[in-house]
Amino acid sequence: MAGVEEVRAGIALANQKASESVAALQQATLSLEEAQQALANATQGSGQEEIQHAYGMLAEAAQSLNGVQGTINASITSAENYAGRL
């Protein structure tokens, strides 16, 4: 069985990797928002259902990524709390 310091080190590594994934998701969210804006600019005034649907799907994807970030952050907090009690 791993010692307390080894467990803490493992948790710290896991949290570092999780934080890196949050940063990547934030970048992906920004890219999706830019894609949404580009689509809106390119199709301004279009009432086509396809375009509205595409715009909505980009918004939904960005919202989903925000939810994933929240879940990862909650995981990090839980792991930190556990490590703090060791």
Query: Average of pLDDT values for 47-75?
Result: 95
Q: What backbone phi and psi angles, to 5 degrees, belong to 63? A: -65, -40
Q: How much is the pLDDT for 58?
A: 96
Model confidence at 60: pLDDT above 80: yes
Q: How much is the pLDDT for 40?
A: 93
Query: Can you tell me whether residue 43 is helix, strand or coil?
Result: coil
Secondary structure letter of residue 23 according to DSSP: H
The half-sphere exposure of 2 on its side-chain side, counting CA atoms within 13 A, is 9
Nearest-angstrom CA–CA distance, 27 and 43: 24
Model confidence at 42: pLDDT above 80: yes
CA gyration radius, the chain: 19
Q: How much is the pLDDT for 1?
A: 64
Q: How much is the pLDDT for 45?
A: 84
Query: Average of pLDDT values for 3-9?
Result: 94
